[in-house]
Amino acid sequence: MKALLALEDGSVFEGEGFGREGETFGEVVFNTSLSGYQEILTDPSYKGQIVVMTYPHIGNYGVNLDDEESSHPWVEGLVIKELSPVVSNFRSQMSLDEYLKKHQIVGIQGIDTRRLTKHLRDHGAQKGGISTVELDPKRLIRKVKDSPDMVGADWVKAVTTKEPYDFDETLLAGYEWPDKVVAKNRQYFVVAIDGGIKRNILRKLNQHGFRVRVVPATTKAEEILALKPNGVFLSNGPGDPAAVTYLIETTRKLIGKVPVFGICLGHQILGLALGGKTYKLKFGHRGGNHPVMDLFTKKIEITSQNHGFAVDVDSLPKEEVELTHINLNDKTAEGLRHKKYPVFSVQYHPENSPGPHDSDYLFERFYAMVSHHA
């Protein structure tokens, strides 16, 4: 079936629809990962966004339920160059096309994703729409322009858990408990504030010796402290961090009371809670090949990233907060720590392990911090 992708600046791309028939709207962004499309689809941080995969051949290894990062896909739509007609993987349970149909996600293939990506790099991420029903370019562009903006949007309330729950990977069928975790025996208790958390983050916290309770992003600091956690984790998530005022206020009240570790949105929320500001990047950082330098060890990590906003380092109080990591592509802030309190964060995703384990030390650092203050 014929499909159109339209951008708010008037650009139109013609292709073939797959997945659900219909139309969808969101911020059009690109991801440079060579694989991992299922993890990308189910990452809650992509709520409100249409994802363009820069790798040309997508879907060749199918989809399986074990690799989902959450209960279902969150992307508004998927844009690819070519959908693989063959699915070849012993773990595959269905094709990508079947998976998108099952979860009512609109996709488009057969367009020049290289040209589209270069356009987004030159002109910035912008609103767009995919449609298999509205094939008049002018009318589709008008619909795109009327769709919601990403700046100022709080998507966290749409993706956060409704009720608290305890996460224990060992209760899942077929799980093998690593020896190093048995040694640690999960003696410390962490509250993870869910701004759109990924399952592999929870697995990593378990694997590094933490008992984990996940709570909604709207949970107040007093409620969290009443649980008497040894540490608090601030998760990744979608949208504009400055719009999530309730989580900023909660984080501000937790600083100095309990060790805090933040990833991605959690890093941005922490920066805002410490008195800094955030700003929107031109086209964001999304992919599994971003180089980051640890300013203390001078080691370079190959990292996985997914964010469209960044912390303004110059806006932070330098007598209290210091920069710990930088992005080697554009020198943006990739890590922070408080000079007095046990608080640190990174902008990238250490749990995705593209290095493959370049960033695993961050969970070990959190464990050491928690054990020191227990």
Q: Does residue 334 come out as left (phi exceeding 0), alpha (psi in the -120 to 50 range) or beta?
A: alpha
Active-site positions read 264, 349, 351
Phi, psi (deg, nearest 5) at residue 129: -150, 145
Separation between Cα atoms, residue 26 and residue 75, nearest integer Å: 9
Please give the single-letter amino acid code of residue 164.
P
Instruction: Report which of 22, 52, 17, 47 is spatially closest to residue 37, judged by C-alpha positions.
Output: 52
Q: Are 237 and 195 in contact (CB under 8 A)?
A: yes
Q: Are 2 and 121 in contact (CB under 8 A)?
A: no
Instruction: Report which of 226, 228, 245, 234 is spatially closest to residue 205, judged by C-alpha positions.
Output: 234
Catalogue the E-assigned strands of 142-237: 165-167, 188-194, 210-216, 231-234
Phi, psi (deg, nearest 5) at residue 243: -80, -15
Instruction: Please provide the size of the chain in residues.
Output: 374
Separation between Cα atoms, residue 151 and residue 241, nearest integer Å: 9
Residues 6+ apart with CB under 8 A from 331: none
Q: Are 144 and 127 in contact (CB under 8 A)?
A: yes
